[in-house]
Structure 1
């Protein structure tokens, strides 16, 4: 096996440093709290709704403002243009998210207790995959809501793409779609995880440099012919 591969595999098998373990254990807190907070908020406003309407999308439920009244109003408005009802059944494709986040919590705690660099890299890969896949499913659901309209609806509108991130005007409504506190907490976990990985990479590089210097310092001199 080439030397550089042997060194790389040795680095992957190196235990995670104690400071990194502590930080990783603390990062589990915002990850766990993200399960209790909405991940996304979609709101809309118009002349007849000057105070606006909004709904919060959690990892396991959809919740309307004003004790759920806003969601009922939004569904009534959507009915007129033929959009399917927004409820927990409509977001069934996201039912796996709490289990995925729970798996990340368990895996992160395991690495914080007995993990090595290899496990830390696996955690980054898993977190990236789950985040991108969940966001992709969310975008796809919004697409289907705006494009699969009932042709028998009282009000005819052209198929449209609802706002994913930012604001968009649809008919006489202005809709807004932005991350909520749950996504911010997830961002804290992801950002902190990347910092931990960067710290371990720098620590590994410094250790490799020290070994090379030590080997050079104590290497016996060769006699010249």
Structure 2
């Protein structure tokens, strides 16, 4: 264990080959494009809504199906069960998430410029933390909406937790929740960085093996 800890500075100082640097540049492009694509989708189905109701979560705004009318329908249904209306003002993080993603794109280019395992690891760790916090925040908001129900609402329904990924039956509605293209690009950006780090570690190890052969 102590030997591994002693080797960490040597490992993190290793250079990343050119192909790995290109992956980090590709990661920056994916991050920028993800800003403009939906990150998540919530889809509701019920007998009275055969085509379903759709809510799309972007990094900077909420969007809904039927030119925005689906959100009005969802909020009307929420009123009957005592749930607060879903409003963009309740998501203050949408004012800064695009700037964070742009910042991570700049960090990606910085890592590609310096081209060391250390710079890439630093960026990847920060990005993973940002992603984990964002997922927790999203789940917390879903939980808060569905647990703070008005007891005087026309319909009496027990507090519930909307599903984050997958599907769930809620009264006569089936809720589906799943990531969209933006989230896929963010995952792709993380994979690009992870691959670049592995290439940097592996390339130096292979070079040392050839030198001692």
Asked if these proteins are the same fold (TM beyond 0.5), I'd say yes
User: Are the structure 2 counterparts of residues 13 and 55 from structure 1 closer, same or farther at C-alpha, using a change threshold of 3 Å?
Assistant: same
Look up the SS of the partner of 2:89 in the other structure.
coil
Give how far 1:92 is off.
1.9
Match of 2:186 in 1: 186
2:206 equivalent in structure 1: 206
Aligned pairs for 1:64-79 within 5 A:
64-79=64-79
Equivalent in the alignment of 1:218: none
* Distance change >3 Å, CA 103–CA 174, structure 1 → 2: same
Show structure 2 runs of 5+ residues with no match: none
Pairwise CA distance, 1:18: 1.5
Assess if the C-alpha contact under 8 Å between 1:94 and 1:134 holds in 2. Answer: no
Whole-angstrom CA distance in 2 between matches of 1:5 and 1:140: 37
Q: What TM-score, normalized to structure 2?
A: 0.92
**Aligned twin of 1:9:** 9
1:97–1:134: 8 Å Cα contact kept in structure 2? no
- 1:116-155 aligned at under 5 Å gives the runs 116-155=116-155
1:152-167 matches, within 5 Å, as: 152-167=152-167
- Distance of 1:4 and 1:63 partners within structure 2: 49
Q: State how far apart, in whole Å, the 2-side matches of 1:199 and 1:110 are.
A: 18
- Of structures 1 and 2, the one scoring higher in RCO (CA 8 A, sep 6+) is 2
Larger Rg computed on CA atoms: 1
**Residues 49 and 5 from structure 1, CA distance in 2 versus in 1: closer, same or farther, beyond 3 angstroms?**
closer
Structure 1: runs of 5 or more not aligned: 215-225
Match of 2:158, SS? coil
Following superposition, the deviation at residue 207 of structure 1 comes to: 2.7
Q: Which deviations, in whole Å up to 9, do the C-alpha atoms of 1:175-195 show, x marking residues without a partner?
A: 100001111111111122211
How far off is 1:205 after superposition? 1.6
Q: What is the TM-score normalised by the length of structure 1?
A: 0.88
C-alpha distance in 2 between matches for 1:174 and 1:6: 54
- Superposed, which structure 2 residues align to 1:7-46 within 5 Å? 7-46=7-46
| Per-residue deviation, 1:10 | 3.2
Give distance in 2, aligned partners of 1:57 and 1:112.
30
Q: Distance in 1 between matches of 2:4 and 2:79?
A: 63
Cα distance in structure 2, aligned partners of 1:36 and 1:25: 18
CA distance in 2: counterparts of 1:114 and 1:194, whole angstroms: 16
